[in-house]
């Protein structure tokens, strides 16, 4: 399926940004494949209904998606609340209902009742407690709507829907929906609407989007021996990528988490990352190291090293400058170079400064405990020069501007920078 899609020019027509979505579909297809075919097309069709577009990896963080619970305490210029007309999920029957009731003497009584027995039509105490639970849930929903609506500083968009009867008259919103809670305030905006057109009329008025076609002479161009990864093929065309095994597993995993955290900081903006918030990430760092397989005996040292790297970079003037919001800034920028073989690369950080210079930065979380730290950094520059110049050579094919290359070492903190001469 993937080969046919590529051969027919699907990726070329849709654009590179469609690759993540295509891979999500192909992964779903793999889960439903049986012996080279599909047993149940309806099941696949239902599963596709739950597929959603992948998030934009180049988004700058100005749009945030969260639940109403998560929005508490935050503020945004614009807040959009979608799906207000949807029917909420109903609460299932509980095995046991209970309620703490204060008495006039300042004590607490516990009222309890089990679920109705099989064949029992009613259980007065459990019915009473269940009604109280529903009332409390209803009040909690109203409170949540208030919390979500008051997160907006300038604009609030409320999106919902209603139905119409056979006479074209608007109906009230679905019971217990969020729209029902807001109906006394915004109901007139919906009751003034006209009934929607019949489905046949909508279909007749539909204009399909224009087809996008590739040139008639288009042919799929692939290298003779496609390959992935950063391995060296023995040729001199592309310098080999340095081997990272010398650092040890724990050190590599620390570097992975530091890179991930620096990407989040740069994407969200330095203003949202005071020292207190950085300190709060330590439990997540420890969990991430554990998930990557770091031994329990190494967790303390590994998490301390990662936290020190983050703190020192955020306290370092150069480090903060690298993480600032620059023109065309990107983190973890994936690039592919097609030569005798195909190789994929990821640039840790890149942007264009105010002088129009493209910066390509690679973070290195290596550490040197000797006194000759300057010599160590110089050796690292020699070690990784070829790797960064490969990055620059790819970027030079995309744009024509001066390029500066830099290795940044959060654990020192210090850096090495040089011009790319092409």
Q: What is the pLDDT of residue 57?
A: 60
Q: What is the pLDDT of residue 235?
A: 43
Q: If DSSP states are collapsed to H, E and C, what string results for 208-237? A: CCCCCCCCCCCCCCCCCCCCCCCCCCCCCC
Phi–psi pair at 239, nearest 5 degrees: -60, 145
Task: Name the pLDDT band for 239 (thresholds 50, 70, 90).
Answer: very low
Q: What is the pLDDT of residue 228?
A: 42
pLDDT over threshold 70, residue 388: yes
Q: What is the pLDDT of residue 234?
A: 42
Q: What is the largest CA-CA distance in the chain?
A: 89
pLDDT-above-90 percentage for the chain: 35
- Is the distance from CB of 397 to CB of 345 less than 8 angstroms? no
Tell me: the pLDDT tens digits for 217-226? 888 775 554 4
Instruction: Write the DSSP assignment of 94-148 as a string of letters.
Output: PSEEEEEEE-TTS-EEEEEEEPPPTT----HHHHHHHHHHHHHHHHHHHHHHHHH
Q: What is the pLDDT of residue 245?
A: 36
pLDDT over threshold 50, residue 301: yes
Q: Is 240 helix (H, G, I), strand (E, B) or coil?
A: coil
Q: Is 349 helix (H, G, I), strand (E, B) or coil?
A: strand
pLDDT over threshold 90, residue 140: no
Average pLDDT, rounded, for the chain = 84
Tally of CB atoms within 10 A around 131? 10
Whole-angstrom Cα distance, residue 304 to residue 110? 47
Tally of CB atoms within 10 A around 27? 10
Most confident of the ranges 27-41, 146-160, 167-181? 146-160
Q: What is the pLDDT of residue 61?
A: 66
Enumerate the domain spans of the chain: 2-48, 76-197, 245-419
Whole-angstrom Cα distance, residue 299 to residue 287? 9
Task: Name the pLDDT band for 54 (thresholds 50, 70, 90).
Answer: confident
Q: Is 407 helix (H, G, I), strand (E, B) or coil?
A: strand
CA neighbor of 314 nearest in space, from 268, 352, 278: 278
Whole-angstrom Cα distance, residue 204 to residue 140? 45
| Residue partners of 77: CB distance under 8 A and separation at least 6 | 152, 153, 154, 155
| Residue partners of 167: CB distance under 8 A and separation at least 6 | none
Tell me: the pLDDT tens digits for 278-293? 999 999 899 888 888 8
pTM (predicted TM-score): 0.46
Phi–psi pair at 413, nearest 5 degrees: -85, 145
User: How much is the average pLDDT of 352-376?
Assistant: 90
Task: Name the pLDDT band for 242 (thresholds 50, 70, 90).
Answer: very low
Tell me: the pLDDT tens digits for 310-339? 999 999 999 999 999 999 999 999 988 887
Task: Name the pLDDT band for 420 (thresholds 50, 70, 90).
Answer: very high
245-419 placed in CATH 3.90.320.10: yes
């Amino acid at each position: 399926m993937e080969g046919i899609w590529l051969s027919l020019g699907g990726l070329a027509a849709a654009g590179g940004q469609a690759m993540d979505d295509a891979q999500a579909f192909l992964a779903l297809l793999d889960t439903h494949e049986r012996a080279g075919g599909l047993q149940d097309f309806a099941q696949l069709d239902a599963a596709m209904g739950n597929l959603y577009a992948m998030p934009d990896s180049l988004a700058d963080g100005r749009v945030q998606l969260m639940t109403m619970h998560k929005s508490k305490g935050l503020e945004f210029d614009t807040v959009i609340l979608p799906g207000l007309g949807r029917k909420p999920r109903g609460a299932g029957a509980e095995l046991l209902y209970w309620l703490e009731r204060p008495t006039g003497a300042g004590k607490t009584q516990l009222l309890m009742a089990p679920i109705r027995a099989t064949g029992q039509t009613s259980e007065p105490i459990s019915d009473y407690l269940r009604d109280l639970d529903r009332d409390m849930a209803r009040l909690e929903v109203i409170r949540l709507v208030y919390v979500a609506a008051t997160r907006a500083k300038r604009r609030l968009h409320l999106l919902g829907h209603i139905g119409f009867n056979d006479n074209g008259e608007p109906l009230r919103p679905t019971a217990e929906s969020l729209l029902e809670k807001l109906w006394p305030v915004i109901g007139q905006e919906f009751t003034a609407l006209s009934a929607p057109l019949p489905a046949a009329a909508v279909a007749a008025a539909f204009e399909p989007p224009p087809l996008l076609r590739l040139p008639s002479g288009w042919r799929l161009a692939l290298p003779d021996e496609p390959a992935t990864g950063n391995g060296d093929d023995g040729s001199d065309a592309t310098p080999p990528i340095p081997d990272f095994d010398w650092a040890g597993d724990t050190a590599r995993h620390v570097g992975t988490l530091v890179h991930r955290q620096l990407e989040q900081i740069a994407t969200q903006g330095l203003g949202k990352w005071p020292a207190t918030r950085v300190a709060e990430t330590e439990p997540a760092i420890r969990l991430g190291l554990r998930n990557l397989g770091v031994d329990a005996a190494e967790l303390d040292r590994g998490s301390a090293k990662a936290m020190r790297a983050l703190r020192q970079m955020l306290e370092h003037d150069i480090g903060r400058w690298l993480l600032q919001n620059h023109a065309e800034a990107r983190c973890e920028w994936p690039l592919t170079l097609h030569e005798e073989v195909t190789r994929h690369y990821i640039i840790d950080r890149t942007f264009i400064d105010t002088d129009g210079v493209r910066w390509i930065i690679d973070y290195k979380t290596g550490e040197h405990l000797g006194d000759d730290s300057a010599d160590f950094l110089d050796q690292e520059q020699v070690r990784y020069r070829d790797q960064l110049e490969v990055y620059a050579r790819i970027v030079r094919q995309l744009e024509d501007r001066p390029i500066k290359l830099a290795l940044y070492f959060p654990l020192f903190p210090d850096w090495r920078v040089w011009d790319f001469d092409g």
